[in-house]
Structure 1
Amino acid sequence: MISIRRILVPTDFSDCATKAVRYAAELADKFGAELVLLHVVPDTVLALPDAVMPAPVPVTDLEALTEAGKVGLANLVTALGLQPRNPRREVRLGAPEQEIPAAAKDLGADLVCVGTHGRGGLARVFLGSVAEQVVRHAHCPVLTVRPDTH
């Protein structure tokens, strides 16, 4: 029998991710599972010097971005009425396509529920797909939720 005790749902606070949070919350209710909300602060905010710019661009304050992620998760919990579920909230720093599978493993997630922008063709080639990388690298099943899902 399938046992789902912990569901990880990453969010970038987009509409697509919010839809995945709603799905994950419903699944958590049905399985009696813990809901874990994850926001990854991308660490790609560093700029390296080059011939035109001899000094690096000032680095965005990662501490402020991390704090903004915590506030964003708290606001999401309130906006979606998730307080009764008491979801765990995690903020990590790094590349989302690497940090999400790592968090799933570290936290012992039984399922990852991730939103997808539903891009195809050249947009997907140029922009990549975090959801696709999570599916490829997560140690557990991954449910992808498209934006046009009912």
Structure 2
Amino acid sequence: MLQNYRKIMVAVDGSSEAELAFQKAMNVAMRNDAELLLAHVIDTRAFQSVSSFDGVLAEQATEMAKQTLEGYKKQAKEHGCEKVSSVIEYGSPKPLIAKQLPQDQEVDLIMLGATGLNAVERLFIGSVSEYVIRNAACDVLVVRTDLDNKIPVNQDED
């Protein structure tokens, strides 16, 4: 008997890496007749350094996230994914994507793009994908290639 995933979460942030993960996640969801959960995490740590933080930045980030997720939802439905949902969370992306969201949403596969960080940045802060791989309780698929399994020409070498 083949393994079928029931709920596939794809982390999206508007980056080209996330776009690749989204494209592949749609196909995997359709092959498994699974629900596709689009997840976006607004990193609230970025707001902590703003001394005059008054909520406007968070509202703008939330509005942009909603628009991004609606675009992805529309695209998924046009592609043939019938079961599509989305979630916006606030906090640190690493534990939210690796632990809290999969547990709360009963996710059995996480798909996300490979890091866009260079080697020096990864050394100091680590990538989200690296953390998710080490800490998630469910399967994780890190997407590095396009739908033809080719490395996109616009991705920089690390």
TM-score, with normalisation over the residues of structure 2? 0.80
> Structure 1 residue 15 and structure 2 residue 35: aligned?
no
Percentage of pairs with the same residue: 31
Structure 1 residue 65: Cα displacement: 1.6
Aligned to 2:59: 63
The AA in structure 2 aligned to 1:15 is S
Q: Is the contact between residue 105 and residue 138 of structure 1 (CA under 8 Å) also seen in structure 2?
A: no
Question: Could you tell me whether the CA contact under 8 Å between 1:116 and 1:145 is conserved in 2?
Answer: yes
Give the distance between the partners of 1:107 and 1:64, measured in 2 at CA. Answer: 25
Q: Give unpaired runs (5+ residues) of structure 1.
A: 49-55
Specify every segment of 5 or more residues in structure 2 that has no aligned partner in the other structure, as ranges.
Answer: 151-158
Q: Deviations over 1:53-92 (max 9, x none)?
A: xxx33245323322221111112333xx212424101111
Provide the rounded CA distance (Å) in 2 between the counterparts of 1:76 and 1:140.
23
Q: Give, as a single letter, the amino acid of the residue that structure 2 aligns with 1:82.
A: A
> Is the 8 Å Cα contact of residues 8 and 108 (structure 2) preserved in structure 1?
yes
Residue in 1 aligned with 2:90? Answer: 93
The structure with more radius of gyration: 1
For residues 38-65 of structure 1, the C-alpha deviation after alignment (integer angstroms, 9 at most, x for no partner) is 00011011127xxxxxxx3324532332
Aligned length: 141
TM-score normalised to structure 1 length: 0.83
Give the corresponding residue for 1:82: 76
Counterpart position of 2:135: 137
How big is the alpha-carbon RMSD for the aligned residues of Structure 1 and Structure 2?
A: 2.0
Q: 1:19, CA displacement in angstroms?
A: 0.2
Q: CA contact under 8 A between 2:73 and 2:85: conserved in structure 1? A: no
